Structure 1
Amino acid sequence: MLSRCSMLPSSSDVQSLQGLSGIRHLAESRRFKAWFLDQFGVLHDGKQPYPGAISTLEKLASNGAKMVIISNSSRRASTTMEKMKHLGFDPSLFVGTITSGELTYQYLKRRDDAWFAALGTSCIHMTWSDRGAISLEGLGLKVVENVVEAEFILAHGTEALGQASGSVRPMKLEDLEQILEQCAAKRIPMVVANPDFVTVEARALRIMPGTLASQYEKLGGEVKWMGKPGKIIYEAAMKMADADASDSIAVGDSLHHDIKGANAVGIQSAFITCGIHASELGLDSFAEVADISRVVALASKYSSCPSYVLPAFTW
């Protein structure tokens, strides 16, 4: 099923559900079997749940919805669910979690995909420091700092460079970009385990690995994007929920990742305006109603088309 606005959207293509009962309307009128939910910018801001998010999940579950968290987080699925639990969310409400980090880990471990099988094992590892480094345990990789020794780049974060000892060396973004220039000259591929460009963190925007990956492509480098807007994560979610495209809806705050990805696999989508695009839409407070003409213009900019527009993930 193709999105009804597969080209550029117009105001007539998008249904604006700007009251705070938008999710309830969708649940009761459309009765989607599977709900694929982004976390940052929809359910929480990285520090605390958004108002009404937990009760909305509970009501969706009681309405028979199968909910799957699909996230461009570079963390494993189990780590993501533990964080959700720590933030006050009940893991039993979800069928499961699929993250870019989990997909990356599984593809690197199995090596049953021809592209991954050809990667080699020596990698430059770009990771986190303040947010906590990503473990590569069980993957049989050799982390190197010298580009000459590297066979590929593994991008989990934007704060540090992994070391052979397992520790990390904090680095500025511009320093990581200089390493990318060296890697591009050697023409080695990159696997990006978090395709997001930015994320919401306590109402501020933080640079994410997708920014590095985009820069690497501009340098002529080859990038394997492991997550939204690629089809791979949506197809995995549909399999997990035992649902097809016509039964599913994706809810997210990123037009480039969440909505464009849903468009690519032909599923309906709900764009939450209080997330990463809030400033671009001129919004100053949570659940503030966006001007639909501005939403349509912004969606056109990102070549995406949401089926529905809501101010927040609230019942």
Structure 2
Amino acid sequence: MTRIIQSLSDISEQYDALFCDLWGCVHNGQQAYPAAIAALQAFRSKGGSVILMTNAPRPGPAVSATFDRLGIPRDAWDAIVTSGDAAQAGMIMGAVGRKVWHLGPPKDEPFFTEIPDDLRALGSVERVPLEEAEGIVCTGLFDEMSETPEEYRGTLLRAKYAGMKLLCANPDIVVDLGEDRIFCAGALAELYTEMGGQSLYFGKPHPPIYDLARRRLTAMDKVIDDRRILAVGDGIFTDVQGGVSEGIDTLFITGGLAANELGEDPEHPQEALLLPWLQERQLSPSAVIGRLR
């Protein structure tokens, strides 16, 4: 039975680590949520570990470089694991070939340039035009503020007929940038699959990013049983579904992507709307809260 809570502290003593989503939980793409920051700081002050787990297609260092601008202090987290980190490994291992076409905005350049030395030692990948490519590395739309996935149907059709696989570096379908909802790489991968192409995923809800997060805990000398880990996020089919699949308890943040569907007050979801909404999606998070606090 899903429990509606008012504060992370209501359940935090049951856990030693958080796998906490970023966008929609800790920030909105423009600024951090002060209450969420305070909740993470309080969890760490009592000995808990916070792994920020995001479907951002950029590697961890590139993501953390934005934290000062957003207002996310260093004492609110221990490590960062991104979909980009996990997808980089897949790319270097040749998941979609050695010659790839990059589908994504210029801001995702670090995906190709900031590669850890241990991965570089495993091989190299060359970026080429689509007509020369063996596969696609998709980090998003070229212009996420104005384009839609449907505008890429013709390009994706060419790739499908050429037998290319698409590596999706961000399984999210949409995110909210302030008041604007924008499409992510997951929307393009979803369309490609619907068209008959093959898409490969490495971020939430898929196993590679969770395996990487556990390795980060081990590197911190933290041996934590899955029963003592809580996955936190606002994506029902990414954060919650991923946690459930991994056997990890989940805390669903309803005031993020689902805010407009669960009542007029994002801080306090209406139980009468919430329970049927969860039943329709056949997912039961361990707990639910309006905003992380």
TM above 0.5, yes or no, is: yes
- In 1, the alpha carbon distance for the partners of 2:258 and 2:148 equals 25
1:150-299 matched pairs, under 5 angstroms: 150-159=133-142, 173-241=149-217, 242-283=223-264, 285-287=265-267, 289-299=268-278
- In 2, the alpha carbon distance for the partners of 1:220 and 1:153 equals 15
Q: Could you list the per-position Cα deviations for residues 8-55 of structure 1 after superposition, in whole angstroms to 9, with x for gaps in the alignment?
A: xxxxx10111x3xx2011124x2x011110000100101011241222
Q: Which amino acid aligns with 2:130?
A: N
User: Relative to 1, partners in 2 of residues 1:66 and 1:133: Cα closer, same or farther, differing over 3 Å?
Assistant: closer
- In 1, the alpha carbon distance for the partners of 2:78 and 2:34 equals 22
Asked if the contact 2:21–2:54 (Cα under 8 Å) also holds between the matched residues in 1, the reply is yes
- In 2, the alpha carbon distance for the partners of 1:69 and 1:206 equals 21
How many residues get paired?
Answer: 278
Asked if the contact 2:50–2:79 (Cα under 8 Å) also holds between the matched residues in 1, the reply is yes
Given candidates 118, 142, 155, the residue that maps to 2:126 is 142
Asked if the contact 2:149–2:191 (Cα under 8 Å) also holds between the matched residues in 1, the reply is no
- In 1, the alpha carbon distance for the partners of 2:46 and 2:191 equals 43
Match of 2:53 in 1: 70
Q: Could you list the per-position Cα deviations for residues 106-126 of structure 1 after superposition, in whole angstroms to 9, with x for gaps in the alignment?
A: 3323x2xxxx35x32222211
Asked if the contact 2:97–2:134 (Cα under 8 Å) also holds between the matched residues in 1, the reply is yes
Query: How far apart are 1:172 and its partner, in Å?
Result: 6.1
Given candidates 116, 120, 123, the residue that maps to 2:97 is 120
Asked if the contact 2:58–2:108 (Cα under 8 Å) also holds between the matched residues in 1, the reply is no
- In 1, the alpha carbon distance for the partners of 2:160 and 2:251 equals 37
Given candidates 261, 279, 282, the residue that maps to 1:300 is 279
- In 2, the alpha carbon distance for the partners of 1:301 and 1:158 equals 30
Match of 1:42 in 2: 25
Asked if the contact 1:159–1:172 (Cα under 8 Å) also holds between the matched residues in 2, the reply is no
- In 2, the alpha carbon distance for the partners of 1:281 and 1:258 equals 18
Query: How far apart are 1:279 and its partner, in Å?
Result: 1.4
Which blocks of at least 5 consecutive residues in structure 1 are unaligned? Answer: 1-12, 162-169
- In 2, the alpha carbon distance for the partners of 1:145 and 1:281 equals 44
Query: How far apart are 1:171 and its partner, in Å?
Result: 6.8
Q: Could you list the per-position Cα deviations for residues 66-114 of structure 1 after superposition, in whole angstroms to 9, with x for gaps in the alignment?
A: 00000000011011112123322222432210000111113323x2xxx
Q: Could you list the per-position Cα deviations for residues 162-201 of structure 1 after superposition, in whole angstroms to 9, with x for gaps in the alignment?
A: xxxxxxxx97644323211111122211100000000121
Asked if the contact 1:159–1:173 (Cα under 8 Å) also holds between the matched residues in 2, the reply is no
Q: Could you list the per-position Cα deviations for residues 212-247 of structure 1 after superposition, in whole angstroms to 9, with x for gaps in the alignment?
A: 001111111111111101122122212322322111
* C-alpha RMSD of matched pairs (Å): 2.1
Instruction: Name whichever structure is richer in helix by fraction.
Output: 2
- In 2, the alpha carbon distance for the partners of 1:125 and 1:280 equals 35
Q: Which amino acid aligns with 2:103?
A: M
TM-score by length of 1: 0.82
Given candidates 94, 99, 111, the residue that maps to 2:82 is 99
Matched, 1:16 2:25: no
Which blocks of at least 5 consecutive residues in structure 2 are unaligned? Answer: 218-222
User: Relative to 1, partners in 2 of residues 1:185 and 1:282: Cα closer, same or farther, differing over 3 Å?
Assistant: farther
Match of 1:7 in 2: none
- In 2, the alpha carbon distance for the partners of 1:286 and 1:300 equals 20
Q: Which has the higher contact order (CA 8 A, sep 6+)?
A: 1
Query: How far apart are 1:269 and its partner, in Å?
Result: 0.4
Q: Which amino acid aligns with 2:278?
A: A
- In 2, the alpha carbon distance for the partners of 1:159 and 1:282 equals 34
Give the percent of matched residue pairs that are identical in Structure 1 and Structure 2. 25
Asked if the contact 2:91–2:125 (Cα under 8 Å) also holds between the matched residues in 1, the reply is no
Asked if the contact 2:37–2:76 (Cα under 8 Å) also holds between the matched residues in 1, the reply is no
Match of 1:108 in 2: 91
Secondary structure, in 3 states, of the residue corresponding to 2:227? helix
User: Relative to 1, partners in 2 of residues 1:155 and 1:178: Cα closer, same or farther, differing over 3 Å?
Assistant: same
